[in-house]
Amino acid sequence: MNKKRAIILNTTIIFSFFLVSLRLTDLMIFNHTRLSERAKLQHVKVEDIQVRRGIIFDRRGRELALNLELESLYCDPENLNLDNDSMRRLASVMAKEPRVILSKIPAAGRFAWVERKLEPDTAEKVKRLNIKGLEFLTEAKRFYPKGELASHILGFVGVDNQALEGVELKYDRYIKTTGGKVFFERDASGKTLSSGVDIEAKGNNIVLTIDEGLQSIVEREIDKAIIKWRAAAASAIMMDPFTGEILALANRPAYDPNKGGSAGGSEKRNRAITDCYEPGSTFKIIIGVASLEEKIAKPDTLFDVSKGSIQVGGKTIRDVHKYGVLTFKEVIQKSSNVGSITIGMRLGKDRIYKYAKLLGVGKKTGIDLPGEVSGWIHPPERWSGTSLGAIPIGQEVAVTPLQMLRAYSAIANGGFLVRPHVVSEIISPNGQVLASLKDKEMKRIISARTAETFKDILKSVVEEGGTGKRASVDGNEVAGKTGTAQIIDPRTKRYSKEKFVSSFVGFVPADNPRLAIIVVIYEPKGQIYGGVVAAPVFRDIADQSLSYLDIPREDNPHHAPLLVSR
């Protein structure tokens, strides 16, 4: 009997060890990988490294784009306790329909966003509801403290801080940097065992060339022009003609980048670099510069425009007034179409095209903003029978406002073509300058003598007898040119008799240029001429900007202008 019990006991022990061995084999060999991963999930906490976008400053260090810390609401669907009463209270606090909230909560799973980046007061109200299964996670929200100001330069980001427009998009790889993951050991209760690890990555900061004060002046004045002339749209750009630094750039309509996702396409369009228009008489800089460089004309060369009209390819082109005999200087000053076409005929197709390309027509400027277009001017072999009459006066050619400003800057700076840019420096989070984006070399495109001669001609445009006299600034000489151009009607494919583009482009002070400015007003009502619509806007922008920058009056260099509010 004892022997029988011993056999049963031994057999049981051996069988038990056999079962344990099988289980250990299963755990240690066949399911090792799966169980190791499960253990890691239980004992290691994994968190994404949160990326904070770099701050965007203006040239004086004022913040134009920064980050706010906001709380986002998420849920654990499997542990969510959301009865009808809790849902009603949650919907009330969040000012949303219950069905909208329920649509974001899946039937199964362990994580789902309910609402991203709540306003602080809303987050506090939700917390007080104390609903099981609702949790909060702190996230960074991009914030633009100046609202609409410089929106077409700054751009905006989406809910996940993904760059969508402007500098935010163009320099995204510098502003955002890269994230990653960090691992924490934790005990059985879930408490973190390791500490001192930085789980936040900071992007590089961007310093812009624009000045918030100048930007405000430009935006305020084109807002006034839009209202006064009931215009469809407007663009204005201010640039340092020697460096290509954009000091201000604005378009209307505009948008608030804090609400960029809800803005329409027309509001988000950076017309200064994405919209082409026929420049009209501002394009006469091309035939003016070409005729001086090619020695076709001098300032006092005479042109008989007494007929008041000229025929090209069977088409009659007229002057606004009959002028008689004009000097070359007066042709530009009074914006005579007949005189300009006569000069264009002496130059010929090839030379007009050559100087148009030299001055940047039909080529992107290379500005560091997304969406720039090149405009166009057809090569001579594609010109029609009327092109030699149309192109010298700014028709059958398309430019952007920035292209025209760049061309006039070449006169202001003595003959160099600059590269416009809006970013000055990229700075690391610890203050190290990673890149300085100033151009060290400029390309000479015309002689200094031609630039100086044509500058004097442009000064006469703003004097008594010129088309741009309303652009004159008290105490400082202005050099510039008016432009009035018809818009092609998309229905008839012909020039509209009601829709025009009015513009003025120039620089100030004329003999020592600090600011090059272009103003383009689309479809003004009541008046159409650039000298009436756009020139006064130029004057008001220039006058206030010279005061803001403390630039002395030329008529009394020891008398600084009164400061405007900054």
Same domain, 186 and 218: no
For each successive 10 residues of the chain (566 residues), what is the average pLDDT?
69 72 68 63 52 92 91 80 82 85 79 82 85 80 94 92 93 78 49 49 92 98 98 98 97 95 92 96 97 96 94 90 93 96 96 97 96 96 95 96 98 97 95 84 92 97 96 96 92 88 97 97 96 98 97 70 39
Q: Is residue 14 part of a domain?
A: no
In this structure, the dihedral spanned by the alpha carbons of residues 359, 364, 368 and 370, taken in order and rounded to 10 degrees, is: 150
Residue with tokens 């020039």: 495
Same domain, 241 and 150: no
CATH number at residue 367: 3.40.710.10
Q: Give the other-Cβ count within 10 Å of 30's Cβ.
A: 10
Q: Is residue 139 part of a domain?
A: yes
- Tell me, what's the pLDDT at 45? 47
- Tell me, what's the pLDDT at 106? 81
- The boundaries of the domain holding residue 341 are 212-548
Same domain, 423 and 507: yes
Same domain, 373 and 438: yes
Same domain, 197 and 336: no
- Tell me, what's the pLDDT at 182? 43
Same domain, 249 and 333: yes
Q: Is residue 456 part of a domain?
A: yes
Q: Is residue 386 part of a domain?
A: yes
Residue with tokens 């209760």: 189
Nearest by Cα to 484 from 434, 534, 518, 526: 534
Same domain, 362 and 350: yes
Two tokens, residue 270:
């950076």
3-state secondary structure at position 563: coil
Q: Is residue 8 part of a domain?
A: no
Same domain, 166 and 260: no
Same domain, 256 and 394: yes
Same domain, 218 and 136: no
Burial label for 495, CB within 10 Å (0-12, 13-18, 19+), is middle
Q: Is residue 16 part of a domain?
A: no
3-state secondary structure at position 149: coil
Residue with tokens 């149309």: 390
Same domain, 202 and 220: no
- Tell me, what's the pLDDT at 248? 98
Asked about 460 being catalytic, the answer comes back as: no
Same domain, 417 and 498: yes
Residue type, 281: S
Nearest by Cα to 480 from 488, 490, 470: 470
CATH number at residue 174: 3.90.1310.10
Pair type for strands 443-444 and 44-48: unpaired
The structural domain count of the chain equals 2
Catalytic hit among 216, 281, 336, 424? 281
Q: Is residue 300 part of a domain?
A: yes
Domain final residue pick, 208, 224, 252 = 208
Q: Is residue 90 part of a domain?
A: no
- Tell me, what's the pLDDT at 196? 45
- Tell me, what's the pLDDT at 39? 59
Residue with tokens 């906001």: 70
The answer for residues whose C-beta is within 8 angstroms of residue 8's C-beta and 6 or more apart is none
Pair type for strands 423-427 and 433-436: antiparallel
Domain final residue pick, 162, 191, 208 = 208
State the sign of the Cα–Cα–Cα–Cα dihedral 349, 355, 356, 361.
Answer: positive
